[in-house]
Every structure is written in C-alpha cells, then in structure tokens.
C-alpha cells in the first residue's frame, strides 16, 4: 500500500514524514526498508505477530508495511508550474490514498505562505491544485476520444461523453471521487490514475501544547474534522512534532513517553491503522519456526488469490487452506494441538479470508 503525503509548505508535513522515515528505518526483518529519500516504509502495528513469534520461537518476523511518498510542499498555482510541487504531482498518481497534512497551530516563528493560518482555506488551496492537475489529464483523454468518434466505433462516443461529464464535475471544483459513477465507470477512472479519485485522510497537525485535549476543544482541528465529514473523507488529529520526538526513542522509552501524555498508542500507529482500514485491507497470518508474517489482502479476497500473495504457484496449484482462528491458536498453544482438537478448518476455493486467519496452504504444481 502506498500513500502520498501532501500539504502546503510549513504545515508540518516534512516533520511528520521525518517521523515516518525514522520509524521505518528502525523496522528490521523486511525488505526495501529504504528506497529513496522521499519514500518511507513503516510496519502496520500488529501485536499478534509478537505473540506468534514467541509461540513458534521464530527466527524472523515480517509485518505488513505501508509506503509513504513525500510530495514537495504544494502552493497556489502548482498545477501551472508555480513552486516546486508541480513536478512531484506525478508521484501521487501512483499512490492508493492521500494523507493531507493541515496546519492547526499558531507559531509566529513559522511563517505561513498565505500570511495566516486558516485550515479550510489551506485544504481548498491544495484540493484546487489537485483538481486542476486532473482536469489537464482528463481534457487530453477527452480530446483523444472525441477525435476517434469519426471512426464510427460507438465506444469512443461513450468514452468522450463520460469524460465530458467527469470534466464538468472537476470544473465545478469537485474531486473525481465524488462523481456518481457505475462500477464500470469507476474501473475506467481508476485506469486514469486521477489524484482526486483517491480516498483522503486529513491529518490535523496540532501544537504539542494541545495534546490530550478533547479534539472538539481545538478550534482549528474541529474545522478540519467538520470539513472531512462534509466531503466523506477521514480525519485524525496528530502532533507531527511529538511524533518525530517519539520516533527517535527506543521502544520502551516510547511507551513511557506515551503514558506520560495519557496516550495508548502513537499518532503514527493510528495513522497507519486508519490508512489500512480506509483502503479496505486486512492481514492474514502465516506462522512457523522460520518466519511469522502478515500478508496484506483486500477484504473479500478468496483463499486461492490470498495464497497467490505468497507465490503464484500457491494460487495455480491451490488444493485447500488449513485455517485456525488466531485466538484459538493462542489459547491452545500450537497448530498441531488445534488440529487434534478439531479446531483447524479445511477451506476450499470459495472461502473468503478473514483478518483472524492463521493459514497453512496446501498446493500442488
């Protein structure tokens, strides 16, 4: 899963990304931890992995991961080449969702590009640039389809008509994701890689002094939550500065730090979990002495396709999936004992995987 981190300059986006990058650098035992300077990889928090690792005395633990792509601070006019943001817009097109960092704190030492802090205005500035960028892409696609109508193939006429409807929607200042579309049209729009067709999490970046307050008692954060609700987006309140400080600590010190703040988990962990949920993802688990691992799949995936995540041969030669519920496995202490007790289920090709599944796939190629 890949998320693009966007926002105006000086809103705390880079600070949050530094926390993400440092957290990623500290996560061992999985590949591609560091790709390039503007990409950070972090593990999806999953306490089940540690429990299974102790049970199996495993040599390796591999969590599910999320990739964050940092986009240079966008400014008004970015879609037309203003500032540094325009050349980075293409990077967001390849992401699955967007984390939009919004400044919700006053600080006279940190300048604001518009001279004052106004969360809703800032959100609309960024969104407008993303819409403008999508309009350019859709216009090119529409013009090409329109020019092909003369061939007599009705598919080009239908394509041009839909793209005109999409373009009108964008020109009215609305993101592509809010257009009323059929399932086929949604699939087509996905092929266009539009930025505004992606789900969004608004990250309301608050001052450290506001940590622990009721979120509705922080006026600017409340405005962001209300805006997100009005457009069907997700929202979370986070202090990027605090997250950066937490990411620099050892795990045991992190817990003490969070306890002192009256928090049960870091904002970064909440962001990762919310991102996972936003995209309708779950993790099934495999466990053994060699490795305990979480495998990311879309909720609703059937067993053979889930097996294919491990290796294509697993899907091609799928015979069955031997599954035990995680809580039952932990209670009984071993897969073999669970099997003896009749708690391991044998599931076929139509089985829909569940988040609590610990799986052993049987296949033959």
Predicted pLDDT at 4: 87
pTM for the complete prediction? Answer: 0.81
N-term to C-term CA, the chain: 29
**Tokens linked to 10:** 């000086």
Q: Where are the beta strands (DSSP E) in 1-117?
A: 2-6, 39-43, 61-62, 65-70, 97-103
CA 140 – CA 192 distance, rounded (Å): 11
Nearest to 327 by CA among 313, 343, 316, 342: 343
Pairing status of strand 318-325 against strand 357-363: antiparallel
- Lowest-pLDDT range, 81-90, 106-115, 160-169? 81-90
Q: Which long-range contacts link 111-120 to residues 24+ away (Cβ below 8 Å)?
A: 111/10, 112/8, 112/10, 113/8, 113/9, 113/10, 113/75, 113/76, 114/8, 117/220, 119/204, 119/220, 119/221, 119/223, 119/224, 119/227, 120/223, 120/224, 120/227
**Tokens linked to 268:** 């970064």
Sheet holding 97-103, edge to edge: 39-43, 65-70, 2-6, 97-103, 200-205, 234-238
Q: Is the pLDDT of residue 37 over 50?
A: no
CA 85 – CA 313 distance, rounded (Å): 42
| Average pLDDT rounded to a whole number, residues 24-40 | 46
**Residue 1 pLDDT level (bands cut at 50, 70, 90):** confident
User: Which is higher by pLDDT, 60 or 262?
Assistant: 60
Q: Is the pLDDT of residue 154 over 60?
A: yes
Task: Give tens-digit pLDDT for 88-135.
Answer: 577 778 889 999 999 998 887 776 766 788 999 999 988 988 899 899
> Is 300 within 8 Å of 352 (Cβ atoms)?
yes
Q: Is the pLDDT of residue 30 over 60?
A: no
CA 158 – CA 69 distance, rounded (Å): 35
User: What is the phi-psi region of residue 328: left when phi exceeds 0, alpha when psi lies from -120 to 50, beta otherwise?
Assistant: alpha
CA 121 – CA 126 distance, rounded (Å): 9
Q: Is the pLDDT of residue 5 over 60?
A: yes
Task: Give tens-digit pLDDT for 187-217.
Answer: 999 999 999 999 999 999 999 989 888 888 9
**Residue 84 pLDDT level (bands cut at 50, 70, 90):** very low
Q: Is the pLDDT of residue 83 over 70?
A: no
H helices of 89-118, where? Answer: 89-93
Q: Is the pLDDT of residue 73 over 70?
A: no
CA 121 – CA 319 distance, rounded (Å): 56
CA 131 – CA 129 distance, rounded (Å): 5
Predicted pLDDT at 31: 32
**Tokens linked to 171:** 């020109």
**Residue 77 pLDDT level (bands cut at 50, 70, 90):** low
| Average pLDDT rounded to a whole number, residues 315-331 | 96
Predicted pLDDT at 79: 52
Predicted pLDDT at 35: 39
**Tokens linked to 246:** 């937490």
The rounded mean pLDDT for the chain is 87
Instruction: Specify the DSSP class assigned to residue 79.
Output: G
Predicted pLDDT at 13: 83
| Average pLDDT rounded to a whole number, residues 142-165 | 93
User: Which is higher by pLDDT, 39 or 234?
Assistant: 234
Predicted pLDDT at 203: 95
Q: Where are the beta strands (DSSP E) in the chain?
A: 2-6, 39-43, 61-62, 65-70, 97-103, 200-205, 234-238, 281-287, 292-298, 318-325, 345-347, 357-363
Q: Is the pLDDT of residue 76 over 80?
A: no
User: Which is higher by pLDDT, 112 or 327?
Assistant: 327
**Residue 307 pLDDT level (bands cut at 50, 70, 90):** very high
Task: Give tens-digit pLDDT for 235-248.
Answer: 999 999 998 899 88
**Tokens linked to 97:** 């969702």
CA 285 – CA 161 distance, rounded (Å): 45
Tally helices (H) and strands (E) across the chain: 14, 12
> Is 120 within 8 Å of 226 (Cβ atoms)?
no
Q: How many CB atoms lie within 10 A of CB 215?
A: 15
- Lowest-pLDDT range, 25-29, 297-301, 303-307? 25-29
Predicted pLDDT at 206: 94
């Amino acid at each position: 899963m890949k998320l693009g981190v966007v926002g105006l300059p000086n809103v705390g986006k880079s600070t949050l990304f530094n926390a993400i990058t440092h957290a990623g650098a500290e996560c061992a035992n999985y590949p591609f931890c560091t790709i390039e300077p503007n990409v950070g990889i972090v593990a999806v928090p999953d306490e089940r992995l540690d429990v299974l690792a102790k049970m199996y005395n495993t040599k390796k633990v591999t969590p599910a991961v999320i990739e964050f792509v940092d986009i240079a601070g966008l400014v008004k006019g970015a879609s037309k080449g203003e500032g540094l943001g325009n050349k980075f817009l293409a990077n967001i097109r390849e992401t699955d969702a967007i984390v939009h960092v919004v400044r919700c704190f006053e600080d006279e030492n940190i300048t604001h590009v518009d001279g004052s802090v106004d969360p809703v205005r800032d959100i609309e500035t960024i969104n407008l640039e993303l819409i403008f960028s999508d309009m350019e892409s859709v216009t090119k696609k529409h013009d090409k389809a329109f020019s092909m109508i003369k061939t007599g193939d009705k598919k080009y006429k239908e394509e041009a008509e839909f793209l005109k409807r999409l373009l009108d929607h964008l020109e009215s200042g609305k993101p592509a994701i809010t257009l009323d579309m059929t399932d086929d049209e949604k699939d087509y729009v996905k092929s266009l890689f539009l930025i505004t067709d992606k789900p969004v999490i608004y990250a309301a970046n608050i001052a450290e002094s506001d940590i622990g307050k009721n979120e509705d008692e922080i006026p600017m954060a409340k405005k962001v939550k209300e805006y997100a609700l009005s457009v069907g987006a997700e929202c979370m309140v986070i202090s990027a500065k605090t997250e950066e400080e937490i990411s620099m600590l050892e795990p045991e010190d992190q817990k003490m730090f969070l306890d002192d703040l009256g928090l049960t988990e870091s904002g970064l962990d909440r962001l990762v979990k919310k991102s996972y949920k936003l995209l309708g993802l779950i993790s099934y688990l495999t466990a053994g002495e060699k490795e305990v691992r979480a495998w990311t799949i879309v909720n609703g995936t059937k067993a053979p396709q889930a097996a294919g995540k491990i290796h294509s041969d697993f899907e091609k030669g799928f015979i069955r999936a031997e599954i035990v519920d995680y809580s039952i496995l932990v209670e009984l202490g071993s897969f073999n004992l669970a099997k003896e007790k009749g708690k391991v289920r044998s599931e076929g090709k139509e089985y829909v995987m569940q988040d609590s599944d610990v799986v052993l796939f049987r296949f033959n190629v």
